């Protein structure tokens, strides 16, 4: 009796490689394509696997929350840590005032990248792109 083949369901993305690609500002699906073309300019899609980065209008609003959360998670304990070691209130306000303005600007690209990676982990979408990539060693 012949076996009937069922359609192959693509594997779910693995969290560590996906988040690693996000930290390197690479495409969360293939890990090859760069997400940014400049400091604030994001590519519309991956140059390698054609994953569309911005899914819909307002997709990256969640990245604002990621950016805010990381800023607060650094600033709050940092404030109390410096207070413990005797920093004056004036020095604290100056230091943390500059930090909470500069850090979100510097972390902007990573917060977007992490938001896209988490979205990709939860909903990887269509993986038909894998068939178009030549296999290792194939010519």
Give the tens place of pLDDT for each residue, 84-109.
Answer: 999 999 999 999 999 999 999 999 99
Total domains, the chain: 1
Q: What is the pLDDT of residue 139?
A: 47
Residue 28 lies in a domain: yes
Report yes or no: 23 and 17 within 8 Å, Cβ to Cβ. Answer: no
Give the Cα separation of 38 and 109 in Å (integer).
Answer: 10
Give the Cα separation of 9 and 55 in Å (integer).
Answer: 23
Predicted TM-score (pTM) of this structure: 0.79
- Residue numbers of the domain that contains 31: 15-126
Which two tokens mark 102?
A: 């500069």
Give the Cα separation of 120 and 53 in Å (integer).
Answer: 10
Place 125 in a pLDDT band, splitting at 50, 70 and 90: confident
Report yes or no: 115 and 62 within 8 Å, Cβ to Cβ. Answer: yes
16-25 mean pLDDT: 95
The residue that leads in pLDDT, 5 or 70, is 70
């Amino acid at each position: 009796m012949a076996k009937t083949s069922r359609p192959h369901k693509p594997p779910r993305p693995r969290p560590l490689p996906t988040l690693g690609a996000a930290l390197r500002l690479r495409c969360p699906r293939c890990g090859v394509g760069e997400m940014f073309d400049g400091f604030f300019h994001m590519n519309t899609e991956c140059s390698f696997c054609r994953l569309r980065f911005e899914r819909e209008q307002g997709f990256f609003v969640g990245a604002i929350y990621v950016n805010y959360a990381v800023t607060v998670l650094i600033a709050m304990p940092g404030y109390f840590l410096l207070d413990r070691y005797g920093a004056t209130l004036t020095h604290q306000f100056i230091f943390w005032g500059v930090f909470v303005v500069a850090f979100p600007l510097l972390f902007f690209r990573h917060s977007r990248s992490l938001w896209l990676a988490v979205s990709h982990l939860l909903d990887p979408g269509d993986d038909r792109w894998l068939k178009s990539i030549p296999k290792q060693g194939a010519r």
